[in-house]
Chain A
Amino acid sequence: MSRPQRSAAPLRLDLQIIADMIEPRTRVLDVGCGDGALLAYLDRAKGVDGRGIELSQAGVNACVSHGLSVIQGDADTDLKDYPKHSFDYAVLSQTLPATSDPKGVLLDLMRIGRHAIVSIPNFGYWRLRLSLLMGGQIAIPDGNAHRWHDTPNIHPCTIADFVELSAELGIRILRSVSIDRRGRIRQSGTPRPLANLVDEQAIFLLRKD
């Protein structure tokens, strides 16, 4: 497995967008932090006091052995242990559709962080729609890594679905950034309807008052 970057290696685009939303010297909880790339970057570039939760043993070990504060845990069960507003930001990148209770997880994030930053793969992306419409088969937005029966994304949602759920839960979308296949970035407050069709993933900065 890849090691978290200790040098100034470039961050994956979606993680860079998340990092750009985070103010320096804040407290960040990265839920599903993987190999700790985002946490390592935030520590190095922004002086952030970061913590992580990661399901995979290999990911946790890689993080801790590189000096990051990470625990092995599960977004669905372990978020309830954290007190209200114990972090400035609670980050969940690409993991929401893989949780068994996305709504509960989202509310936990809003409780733990003064802000939450959530990124999702967009199941409304036109190629996925086309695949279902023309090919009659479910397409998965992570390329060819998974098929319908083994994808961890058990709760697929589109940008529009996410916007609707946020409104329903009284969560304000302060910023949204979406990315298309070529890595072109679209920024706005609430995402524009076009993004739901042409962009592959979206990142939201959220707040609940």
Chain B
Amino acid sequence: MAAEDALSEAEAPARPGLYAEFGRDQPFKLDSGAELGPFTIAYQTYGKLNAAKSNAILVCHALSGDQFVTGINPLTGREGWWEPMVGPGLTLDTERYFVLCANVLGGCMGTAGPKEICPATGEPWGLSFPVITVADMVRAQKLLIDRLGIEKLFCVTGGSMGGMQALQWAASYPERLVTAVPVATAARHSAQNIAFHEVGRQAIMADPDWCEGDYLRRGKVPQRGLAVARMAAHITYLSEAALHRKFGRNLQDRLSITYGFDADFQVESYLRHQGSTFVDRFDANSYLYITRAMDYFDLAQEHGGVLANAFRKSPVRFCVISFTSDWLFPTRECKEIVRALNSVAANVSFVEVRSDKGHDAFLLDEPEFFATFSGFLAGAAEHIGLEPA
């Protein structure tokens, strides 16, 4: 390990969590052609890496997630986003596995992104940060995995954009992982999903406080734009059944409608709350960059238009999981992945979990999902004779 690349607590004394610096000796090449000089990856680990370094599970987070998978996130004060999944005795059992998660490139929780300081100018990157892709995120994660001396990850998993990264890992570095568990995801972002993202981006860019992306230097925050983006997106994470069950047409703290534009309905109040709390923890420009990375994701395209080519001769054991009520990443998208894997005789399991909670089901307490996932991991662990932590 080069001395200047070493992890340094002194460099970032005030920031919680783990950090690693890359790209000082050699710039990091991005899909766009741009290069990133020295840059930081912020990450978290849970559990112990065994002596053979064979029990590591890389969790890839989704659009609004971060490296703080479980426990209290020290930056936001909120619970980790995969609390029901990761921990002692849980599906990603931290008594058995070494779980790690890195904030994605372009993110806003410590990894290089538009909110961070550009080393060349000493100012926040803003829109001068290069556009990144899911493959860039994965290449950056691989640098971290190399740095940690992990030859082979036992599993790469994640839901939504995290699932895209898991698929990208399997396609780019098939020899570096034993299993891939893409959840509630797709091998490409659909037109409908790009459309929703565009609504969110336009909401941010329409906010005068966005200042053409330069809000950090001007001491402003495009709160209204980012909140609207989050509100629109949040609807896509739920299902009609879940919304109806939770709110119906119930009124918010009032006995009758007010003939005005206050949040009369509980569902409105809920969405406003989702929007306003998101603003406190997420960077608007990051939202633009990460949604763009998802839009650009099309695994087949980088393999001659044939998805199966991404997985030819793959030694990876796959378990693809979808949820019945997820209309953002519907089962049929997951089945496309399964079909491609079958066509190259890859080792694949596929389960569609019954749930009425929509896309967000992958974040919630879904016993069938956990049983399938942990059973799959146990089977794979037995297959390779995984040593305990």
Min distance, Cβ A105 to any Cβ of chain B, angstroms: 16
Q: Say yes or no: is B380 at the interface (Cβ < 8 Å to chain A).
A: yes
Taking chain A's interface residues, is the majority helix, strand, or loop, or is none over half, making it mixed? mixed
Count residues of chain B with CB under 8 A from any CB of chain A: 27
Which of A51, A70, A82 interacts with B343 by CB under 8 Å?
A82
Given A82-B343, A83-B343, are A65 and B375 neighbors across the interface (CB < 8 Å)? yes
Given A57-B354, A60-B351, A61-B351, are A71 and B342 neighbors across the interface (CB < 8 Å)? yes
Min distance, Cβ B96 to any Cβ of chain A, angstroms: 15
Q: Say yes or no: is B75 at the interface (Cβ < 8 Å to chain A).
A: no
Q: How far is the CA of A82 from the CA of B347 in the complex (A)?
A: 12
Provide the B345-389 mask, 1 if CB < 8 A to any CB of A, else 0.
101111111100000000000001001101110111011000000
Instruction: Say yes or no: A68 contacts B379, CB within 8 Å.
Output: yes
Q: Say yes or no: is B115 at the interface (Cβ < 8 Å to chain A).
A: no
Q: Say yes or no: is B338 at the interface (Cβ < 8 Å to chain A).
A: yes
Taking chain B's interface residues, is the majority helix, strand, or loop, or is none over half, making it mixed? helix
Instruction: Say yes or no: B380 contacts A67, CB within 8 Å.
Output: yes
Q: Give the one of B338, B349, B375 with max A CB within 10 A.
A: B349
Q: Say yes or no: is A66 at the interface (Cβ < 8 Å to chain B).
A: yes
**Which residues from B are CB-within-8-Å of A63?**
349
**CB-CB nearest in chain B for A49:** B347
Min distance, Cβ A58 to any Cβ of chain B, angstroms: 10
Instruction: Say yes or no: B345 contacts A72, CB within 8 Å.
Output: no
Given A82-B343, A83-B345, are A67 and B350 neighbors across the interface (CB < 8 Å)? no
User: Which residues of A, 66-103, contact B by the 8 Å Cβ criterion?
Assistant: 66-73, 78, 81-83, 86-87
Instruction: Say yes or no: B342 contacts A81, CB within 8 Å.
Output: yes
Min distance, Cβ B13 to any Cβ of chain A, angstroms: 45
Min distance, Cβ A182 to any Cβ of chain B, angstroms: 37
Min distance, Cβ B274 to any Cβ of chain A, angstroms: 31
Q: How far is the CA of A60 from the CA of B352 in the complex (A)?
A: 9
Q: Give the one of B338, B348, B351, B352 with max A CB within 10 A.
A: B351
Q: Give the one of B339, B342, B350, B383 with max A CB within 10 A.
A: B342
Instruction: Say yes or no: A64 contacts B375, CB within 8 Å.
Output: yes
Q: How far is the CA of A73 from the CA of B343 in the complex (A)?
A: 14
**Which residues from A are CB-within-8-Å of B350?**
60, 70-73
Instruction: Say yes or no: A61 contacts B349, CB within 8 Å.
Output: no
**CB-CB nearest in chain A for B383:** A67
Instruction: Say yes or no: A67 contacts B338, CB within 8 Å.
Output: no
Instruction: Say yes or no: B343 contacts A67, CB within 8 Å.
Output: no
Which of A51, A65, A83 interacts with B376 by CB under 8 Å?
A65
**What are 8 residue pairs bridging A and B, where the CB atoms are less than 8 Å apart in the complex?**
A61-B368, A61-B372, A64-B376, A67-B376, A67-B383, A71-B342, A71-B348, A71-B349
